[in-house]
Chains A and B, each alone.
Chain A
Amino acid sequence: MTTIDLTQVRGLFFEESFENLDVMESSLLDLEIETFNEELINNIFRAAHSIKGGAGIFHLDDIVTFAHNAETLLDEVREGKHDINQVLIDLLLRVGDILRIMLTASKDEVEYDTQEMQICQEALKKALIESVENIEEIPTVESESVEESVENFVEDIEQTSKEWHIEFKPELPILKTGNDPINLFRELQELGELEIIANTDAMPDFADLEPQLCYLSWNLVLNTTADRADIEEVFEWIIDECELNITESVLENSEPKVESQEESEPVLEIIEETPEVETSATEEKTTVSEDTTYTEKVTISEDTTEPVHEEDVVNKQLHTQSGTNSIRVGIDKIDNLINIVGELVITQSMLDQIGENFAHSDIIHLRDGLSQLERNTRELQENVMRIRMLPISVSFNRFPRLVHDLSTQLGKKVELILSGEHTELDKTVLEKMSDPLVHLVRNSLDHGIESPEQRKQVGKPEVGQLHLNAFHQSGNIVIQISDDGAGFDVERIRAKAVQKGWITQEEKITEEQLYEFIFQPGFSTSEEVSDLSGRGVGMDVVRRNIRALGGSIEVKSETGKGSKFSIRLPLTLAILDGQLVRVGNDIFVLPLLSIMESLRVQTKLVNSFTGTVEIYKLRDDYIPILRLYKLFDIENTTTKLEQGLLVIAEGDGQKIGLFVDELLSQQQIVIKNLENNYKKVQGVSGATILGDGNVALILDITGLIQLFRNQTKSPPHLPLGTIRYE
């Protein structure tokens, strides 16, 4: 038996199958009721078909069976035998879910709950128009028949040899089908001893001879232990294009042992033939691998952590597949890199040449070369970064299904609009944004968009709109989630804030300030804890996640018209816009995004709070001052507040004034992980290497605030920035 290592193909099969399921799902969601969209239906069919085909190779029999039923139904749909209705779409969505569960279980080699599958299987069978007998005849895995034939073969050896007379007359154009009779004869020869007699009677005169036609017919005598089916199998492909007459006559006095030895001889010949190609085998492999390297699209496997309903075991299993650490990169991106590296090499050799016999007059060439090098480097950096970039559609694509399911569950009508799906962002950012996005979408559906009746009452169209949009804006990615629902209930937010003791009944605050409260831990205006939202994972978590990525979230709402969340994210986590600051002889980097302003200290505005903490009065705020030189124990530095600068930075909603000697330049900083190379240091998020080769620490504002609190024992109850003096 041929044995090849299938483990890598197996991995590929699962990866591909999950992609196919995604295609199937999105195509199903795009299908419109009562509309026959051939392309979409073909997509769905192909997905089921590929899964079945692949599963067969790996002997995943239950998947083959299940997918086969789905395929049969889809085939009928394709032929227009079924109405495209919601029931059908829901059934097929369910099929996708079950296949996902089955595949996940097979991939992880664990058991899954077969009950759901059987229910779905029954539903599938019921939906089929064709008779049940037809379905029962499922092409189970071929291996069985292989084993059978092996068994048969073993039996056959012990059976007596038979002489078969075969009259074979192919149709004239047989060669045009690519079938060559000589190959068939060789095939027969493998079964036993073969005598071939060609019949040239039908040959026309040379003048009339068409060289592309086959005028010959043959009488064959085959001496074999094989049975009729084996012989017929040889002619399987051309059975309809020839006259074939197979008759048997049992050989007397045959000696099976000897026969079987003779039988194996032709096989041996063939094996002997192969070594001559062996020499070029390595070459071959290279060519093949070149041929196989294209990848058409960039995908990552779906993220795991979508919140699911506890009771819905199926859904839970559905999303247990873990995110892989691999990334598929479009060949164009790789080609670009190769191009740039090529140019880099040219630049380098050019600089080399200049350096060899350097004269002062060459300085102009040197400058050219250096600026070319700079361009190459920048391009290389940009392109390398692009490899990590994935289109946001990877994340958006899950929403049609989510919205479909949720709106059905909530009895709401919602149209989901996606735009800017091609906007690319860093893979890590994308993965980490997945949960916050799901949360926001759920919120919109649950609290934002009203029921069709309510919408009708206020004169809005019954179908609510939920819009997910992504775009670039000044070096950031902006993701917006907006709906045309009821907007925030300002009064309820206010009541809740009063109840929580965040504000007093009389206090006048703006709507924007009110919205700020929804991001506070423990905030939920929902009266009842619903199935979907209000289970403790609040907007505070959403904001914390976004901030952890160096992003921000803001919200706009208009009562009765809807609300809009805007999330602003950095393009990548690997590079940061930094502000260099000097403290003594040390240089630190502050993330530019977290800096609000920097100012000269007016000493009369500095107060001392409980003797240890210095507070700076900035307009209406009181901001604690953190003297970085004290924290990091730096000597030879400015200690008088009025001689240095105060950088007001914000981290996790709290402000702090960092006292530094002076501000240096702003620049893009490549973040190096400190944890991997040294250890985790609170208040420091990483390090970078500056142009002069020195290492500078990148400060983490949130961490600094915590550190500061621990040192000064200041209570963490309120945002520091809102400490008020009475």
Chain B
Amino acid sequence: MVHKILICDDSVSIRQMLALTLIDAKYNVTESKDGMQALELAKQNNFDLIITDINMPLLDGLSLVGKLRVLPEYRFKPILLLTTETDPEKKKQAKAAGATGWIIKPFDPDKLLAAIRKVLR
């Protein structure tokens, strides 16, 4: 089964970087540029994993997680946050919002894939 991953980042280069890495690893990737778009896409599709940035226009990553978690189909789905913060406070916020885990930017393709393997098999 090919896992469907939704990635969400307002930065085109980060998005491309993610997409290239994930496509290369044979995942099915959908991109979105802000939280609102991601939410809409998530409602229309059934993604196996959502990876989202935190700082984004329209709807930030933490709020996106909150909005996804109330949707029945995403109650148990892994959602990873992309963050540049190594600050434990930020991690707590991420967990409080309902995120599964986080990926620290900048990431190395191997680290990214390792993180994904923690939640998708």
Contacts and interface: CB of A to CB of B under 8 A. Distances in A.
Interface in A273-289: 274, 277-278, 280-281, 284-285, 287-288
A49 B55 contact: yes
A608 interface: no
The 10 nearest A-B residue pairs measured at CB? A56-B106, A237-B101, A178-B100, A13-B13, A178-B78, A2-B109, A50-B11, A53-B105, A57-B106, A9-B16
A58 to B, nearest CB: 8
Interface string A275-318: 00110110011011001101010000000000000000000000
Contact of B28 (A71, A139, A288): A288
A178 B77 contact: yes
23 contacts: A5-B20, A9-B16, A9-B17, A46-B57, A56-B106, A64-B106, A141-B106, A142-B108, A146-B110, A175-B76, A176-B76, A176-B98, A178-B99, A186-B121, A212-B76, A237-B101, A237-B102, A277-B1, A277-B26, A278-B26, A288-B23, A292-B31, A294-B33
A6 interface: yes
B10 A9 contact: no
Given A183-B120, A234-B118, 18 more contacts: A2-B21, A4-B109, A9-B17, A12-B12, A13-B13, A16-B11, A46-B56, A50-B11, A54-B106, A55-B106, A56-B105, A142-B106, A142-B111, A186-B121, A187-B118, A284-B26, A288-B30, A291-B31
A200 interface: no
Interface size class of A (residues with CB under 8 A): 35 or more
A234 B114 CA distance: 10
Contact of B14 (A15, A50, A139, A236): A50
Most buried by A among B12, B33, B99, B104: B12
B13 A2 contact: no
A240 interface: yes
A141 to B, nearest CB: 6
Contact of A287 (B25, B28, B78, B111): B28
Nearest to B109: A2
Interface string B17-37: 101110111101111010000
A284 B106 CA distance: 26
Interface string A580-624: 000000000000000000000000000000000000000000000
Contact of B2 (A64, A237, A277, A294): A277
Contacts of B42: none
Contacts of A176: 69, 75-76, 98
A1 interface: yes
B4 to A, nearest CB: 10
A296 B33 CA distance: 9
B8 to A, nearest CB: 12
Interface core residue of B11, B14, B101 (most chain A CB under 10 Å): B11
A178 B55 contact: no
Given A4-B21, A139-B104, A187 B117 contact: yes
B21 A178 contact: no
Nearest to A5: B20
Contact of A54 (B14, B28, B33): B14
Contacts of B30: 287-288, 291
A280 B4 CA distance: 13
Measured as residues with beta carbon below 8 angstroms from the partner, the interface class of chain B is 35 or more
Give the residue among A10, A56, A71 with the most B Cβ atoms within 10 A: A56
Interface of A: 1-6, 8-10, 12-13, 15-17, 42, 45-46, 49-50, 52-57, 64, 71, 139, 141-143, 146, 175-180, 182-184, 186-187, 212, 234, 236-238, 240-241, 270, 274, 277-278, 280-281, 284-285, 287-288, 291-292, 294, 296
B106 A53 contact: yes
Nearest to B60: A42
A183 B26 contact: no
B76 A292 contact: no
Nearest to A53: B105
Contacts of B26: 274, 277-278, 281, 284
A16 B11 CA distance: 7
Interface in B87-111: 92, 95, 98-102, 104-111
Contacts of A64: 106
B13 A54 contact: yes
B19 A292 contact: yes
Given A183-B118, A187-B118, A288-B19, A237 B105 contact: no
A128 to B, nearest CB: 15
A296 B13 CA distance: 15
B109 A241 contact: no
Contact of A142 (B16, B99, B104, B119): B104
A166 to B, nearest CB: 16
A284 B27 CA distance: 8
A53 B102 contact: no
Given A12-B13, A142-B106, A291-B30, A2 B113 contact: yes
Contacts of A238: 101
B98 A139 contact: no
Contacts of B2: 277, 280, 284
Contacts of A183: 117-121
A679 B99 CA distance: 65
Nearest to B16: A9
A30 to B, nearest CB: 16
